Chains A and B, each alone.
Chain A
Amino acid sequence: MNLTLRIWRQKGPEDKGRMVTYPVDDVSPDMSFLEMLDVLNERLILAGEDPVAFDHDCREGICGMCGLMINGDAHGPQRGTTACQLHMRQFTDGETIDIEPWRASAFPVVKDLVVNRSAFDKIIAAGGYITAPTGSAPEAHSTPVAKANADAAFESAACIGCGACVAACPNGSGMLFTAAKLTQLSLLPQGQPERYTRVIGMVDAHDEAGFGGCTNAGECTPACPKGIPLNTIGRLNRDYLAATAKGAGNTPGS
Chain B
Amino acid sequence: MAVTGILLALFLIAHMLGNLKVFTGETSFDHYAHWLRDIGKPLLPGVWFLWILRAVLVVAVVAHIVSATVLARRARAARPVRYAHRKKINGSYAARTMRWGGVIILLFVIYHLLDLTTGTLNPVGNESKPYGNVVADFAPERWYVTLFYTLAIVTVGFHLRHGAFSAFRSLGQQTPRGERTARTAALIFAVLLCAGYLVVPFAVLTGLVS
Contacts and interface: CB of A to CB of B under 8 A. Distances in A.
A8 B98 CA distance: 31
A222 B178 CA distance: 19
A171 B74 contact: yes
Interface residues of A, number: 40
A215 B172 CA distance: 13
Interface string A206-241: 000011110111110011000001110111011001
Interface in B136-157: none
Nearest to B166: A216
A233 B41 CA distance: 46
A104 to B, nearest CB: 6
B87 A73 contact: yes
Interface string B62-103: 000000001100110111111111111111100110100000
A216 B90 contact: no
B24 interface: no
B176 interface: yes
Contacts of B165: 216
Contact of B171 (A172, A230, A241): A241
Contact of B78 (A210, A216, A233): A210
Given A71-B85, A237-B170, A168 B90 contact: yes
A105 interface: yes
A231 B174 contact: yes
A234 B180 CA distance: 13
A98 interface: yes
Nearest to A211: B78
B159 interface: no
Nearest to B70: A213
A237 B172 contact: yes
A19 interface: yes
Contacts of A253: none
A158 to B, nearest CB: 15
B185 to A, nearest CB: 15
Contact of A72 (B74, B85, B162, B175): B85
B30 interface: no
Interface of B: 1, 70-71, 74-75, 77-92, 95-96, 98, 162, 165-166, 169-176, 178-179
9 contacts: A6-B84, A8-B84, A72-B88, A100-B83, A104-B79, A173-B75, A213-B70, A219-B91, A233-B169
